[in-house]
Amino acid sequence: MKASLQKGFTLIEIMIVIAIIGILASVALPSYQDYTVRARVSEGLALATTAKTTVMDVVSNGNVATTVNNYKSDFVWSGATNNISSIDIDPATGAVTITTTPAAGAGRLLLVPFTGSLASPVALPAPGSASPIANGNVQWKCLARGAAAFGGITVPSDALERKYAPAECK
C-alpha cells in the first residue's frame, strides 16, 4: 500500500483561523473608527490657527479695551467644512471654540489662552483692563469633555468626547 500525503487544511483548522480573524476584527474596527474621527477633529485644530493668530494680534497690541470686539477683533469664520461647522472666539476671554460636525464627533473643543505655567495659569486680561500680559508668552490649553475648568473657563456640557480629542486635549 502506498501512503497518501495530506493536502490542504482540515475543517477545524480553518474554523480556528476564522475565529481568530473575527476576534481581531472585533477589536480593531472600533479603534479604527475612533482614529478616523480623531483625524477629522485635527482639521479643526489646523483651521483654528487663524483664530489663535487674531487673539495673539490683540495681545501684541497691548490693550484689549481699545480693540473693537475685544479679543475677537475682526475675526470672521470663513465657512464650514465636512468636519468643522464653526470656529469662534470669545471676545471676553480669547478662548477659541471649535464646533465639529457629526462626522467628527459632534462636539466642541475649547482652546484657552493663558500665560504662566500649566500648574499656575494666568488668564489674559479682561476687556476694559489696561493690564499688560504678565508672566511671559501666551500659551494654549485644549479642553475636551471631562476636563477640569482651566483659567476660569469651564468645559461646556456638549464638549467633544475625550476619546475623539487629539492627544494634547486629553
Q: State yes or no: pLDDT of 162 exceeds 60.
A: yes
pLDDT tens across 31-58, in order? Answer: 899 999 999 999 999 999 999 998 888 8
pLDDT tens across 90-146, in order? Answer: 998 999 999 999 999 999 999 999 988 888 888 887 776 666 665 568 899 999 999
Does the pTM of the predicted model rise above 0.85? no
Average pLDDT over residues 157-169: 91
Q: What is the DSSP string of the chain?
A: -PPPPP-S--HHHHHHHHHHHHHHHHHHHHHHHHHHHHHHHHHHHHHTHHHHHHHHHHHHHS-GGGSTTGGGTT-------SSEEEEEE-TTT--EEEEE-GGGTS-EEEEEEEEE-SSSEEEPPPTT--PPP-SSS-EEEEE-TTPPPBTTBPPPTTBPPGGGS-GGG-
How many whole angstroms separate alpha carbon 129 and alpha carbon 125? 6
Q: What is the pLDDT of residue 63?
A: 66
Q: Where are the domains of the chain?
A: 11-169
Percent of the chain with pLDDT over 90: 49
In words, the CATH class of domain 11-169 is: alpha beta
